[in-house]
Structure 1
């Protein structure tokens, strides 16, 4: 049986055991969320030995070269020594500089990191709170324009991170983990192409950043944004989006409830084969977006999607 070492702990585990499961069974506090290799909350560094990595492409080459692996995607096949991601040692400190509730269930959180974070619109980063709970959240801010990092946290349902976030105050400290690329971004080569942005809930956060990036780069094609919320009051960026519409005639914004979504999707008509669509939100809603766009004639290759996975 392989030996798994973490600090002073020595664990005997069955060969081919999932690394995350083995660590948790041994009492090692490793945060996790999606178990799909997407959230990157379960980062560990290999000190000695090498696990079998079932999704090596999930990490950037420089991170892999430093020994980082996603515990949920690795199998223990030989003796292995790892150290979990330590937010105090490996993360970046950040302070809460502003927070408010643009709707009853969405917390808008703005953080100022102790050192500049290089990112692009549409990316997401792992946030660590003082209790060691880590969750990935998309950036809604625009690099080079906003002086803070902005996150939209859905607090509608109970959650270890979101419940604690309700009690955050200006001046509190959080830690930033790994910055992830994600599928959502704006490419200057798209400048003349029609752009559709379809968001559900706080899936609007990264698309808000992408939208602002497109407008900053003077996107010339038509832009259509569709936001789906449980109820009208949950269209939490309605004022900000209206202000953008007033300033940019090429932008059209439609806000619908979940009950209205089937009718809204049925009315979607492809006006150009050059259209690009960016989709974000709960997997089931993103799947509904993608199926309707495909039926309307948009190739899958022209759809970029990021889904918000719930914790397993």
Structure 2
């Protein structure tokens, strides 16, 4: 049986067992969220040996060369020695600049990293509390313009990170994990093309950053934003989007709830086969968006989606 070593722990594990499951069963505290190789909360560093990796492309070459792997995507096939991600040692320090409620359930965190962070609109980061709770969140801020890193936290349901976030105050410390690219971005070559941004809940966060990036680059094509929320009170960026629409005549914004969603989506009528669509939110909502786009005639290779996977 393969031996798994973590610090002073020596664990005998079944051949080909999932690395994350083996660590958790052995009492090693490894945070995790999606179990799909998307959130990157379960980072571990291989010191000796190599697991069987189902998603080697999920990490960039630099991280892989340093030995980092996603535990949820690996299987133990031979003896393996590793260390878990330590936010104090491996994370970037940051302090909370402000935290305020944008709606009854959406908490906005603005963080100032100790060292500048180079990122693109649409990327996301793993945030670590001082107690070692980690969750990935999309960036809503605009690089080069906002002095902070902005995140929109959905606190509708109880969770380890969201519960901790409710007690956070300006000046508190957090740690930043790995920066991820995600599927969403703005390409300057899109400048003349129609752009549809469809978001559910706090899936609006990365699209808000991308929208502002498109406008900063003087996007010429028509832009339509559709935001799906549980109720009218949860259209937490309604005023900010309205202000942008007032300043940019090519931008149209529709705030909708579940009952009105079919009508709002029916208004998305294709006027150009060059239309691009960016989708973000929970899987069910993104699937609903994608089906409507297919019926509207948007080519599949012009639809980009980022899913907010529920905590496993």
Do the two structures share a fold, i.e. TM-score over 0.5? yes
Indicate the SS of the match to 1:193: coil
Aligned to 1:129: 129
Deviation of the 1:265 alpha carbon: 1.7
Aligned to 2:268: 268
Measure, in 2, the Cα distance between the counterparts of 1:297 and 1:229.
25
Residues 1:63 and 2:48 are matched in the alignment: no
Deviation of the 1:50 alpha carbon: 0.1
Measure, in 2, the Cα distance between the counterparts of 1:103 and 1:245.
21
Measure, in 2, the Cα distance between the counterparts of 1:67 and 1:124.
21
Kept after mapping to 1: 8 A contact 2:92/2:177: yes
Indicate the SS of the match to 1:253: strand
Deviation of the 1:130 alpha carbon: 1.2
Measure, in 2, the Cα distance between the counterparts of 1:209 and 1:233.
21
Aligned to 2:142: 142
Aligned to 1:195: 195
Deviation of the 1:246 alpha carbon: 1.0
Deviation of the 1:289 alpha carbon: 0.4
Unaligned segments of structure 1, at least 5 residues: none
Indicate the SS of the match to 1:24: helix
Aligned ranges 1:277-296 → 2 under 5 Å: 277-296=277-296
Unaligned segments of structure 2, at least 5 residues: none
Aligned ranges 1:23-34 → 2 under 5 Å: 23-34=23-34
Aligned to 1:257: 257
Q: List, as ranges, runs of 4+ consecutive aligned residues in structure 1 with deviation greater than 3 Å.
A: none
Q: CA RMSD in A?
A: 0.6
Measure, in 1, the Cα distance between the counterparts of 2:3 and 2:136.
31
Indicate the SS of the match to 2:274: coil
Report the more deviating stretch, 261-270 or 74-83.
261-270
Measure, in 2, the Cα distance between the counterparts of 1:49 and 1:216.
47
Structure 2-normalised TM-score?
Answer: 0.99
Q: Deviations over 1:219-273 (max 9, x none)?
A: 0000000000000010000111011011111100000011211222233211110
Aligned to 2:10: 10
Measure, in 2, the Cα distance between the counterparts of 1:242 and 1:269.
22
Residues 1:91 and 2:91 are matched in the alignment: yes
Residues 1:116 and 2:119 are matched in the alignment: no
Deviation of the 1:96 alpha carbon: 0.4
Aligned ranges 1:126-275 → 2 under 5 Å: 126-275=126-275
How many residue pairs are counted as aligned between the two chains? 312
Indicate the SS of the match to 1:171: coil
Indicate the SS of the match to 2:142: coil
Kept after mapping to 1: 8 A contact 2:139/2:209: yes
Measure, in 2, the Cα distance between the counterparts of 1:119 and 1:263.
36
Q: Deviations over 1:57-110 (max 9, x none)?
A: 111111101100000000000000010000000000000001111101000100
Measure, in 1, the Cα distance between the counterparts of 2:63 and 2:36.
18
Measure, in 2, the Cα distance between the counterparts of 1:174 and 1:114.
10
